[in-house]
Structure 1
């Protein structure tokens, strides 16, 4: 979307779509310390993009920056396939957890039990991943 058009609205929409991964990452990490660390690591990796950008978004390529956007398309493509893999894995893991829960006998947890399980983070019996 960034390389395919010069319209600011469409380019902005592409940027917003690229940023939605932050929410997915945060939803799939249990426990506040672990979630905070995971989000910090994701932001750190994203900030490394600034280093790459200084070498691929050159002034001589302005105003469309086709080379830089083309590299970005490759990185986003790789991220798409990694996301597809991760979604498949998380669906499998949720199904496994549901099976284990049904073998033990379904149980509705009380507020006290949910709070007690918070220390277990994403290993808590009732934790399910967002897919």
Structure 2
């Protein structure tokens, strides 16, 4: 693993789960991890319920935009975490792949998105521990 590992989060629309995961990782790791997110069929905007749920814990993802998944993004990443993108995610030898089975927040209200947000936080904290990245004590 390089000094600064790179993580790519992928879901279908890149509008909910992957955006929340990227937000958590940026928030907790700072510059210690390079963060990317993309979608196999990106939506037009980030899910407002995901934005609201993340804002409740002090993380602003309102400026993020869904991005199309590219081969270059996968090749440039050390760890690729998929969240329901199925066979649309390209697989390259030498990459570490994780598949996180998470409920899809699409069409859900913020009350339904909170548990998804919290599960993503727990998984991000576990990932950081695996990567050997220390979370600052000031992080929530």
Q: TM-score, normalised by structure 2?
A: 0.26
Give the number of the structure whose residues are more often helix, by fraction: 1
User: Highest CA radius of gyration, 1 or 2?
Assistant: 1
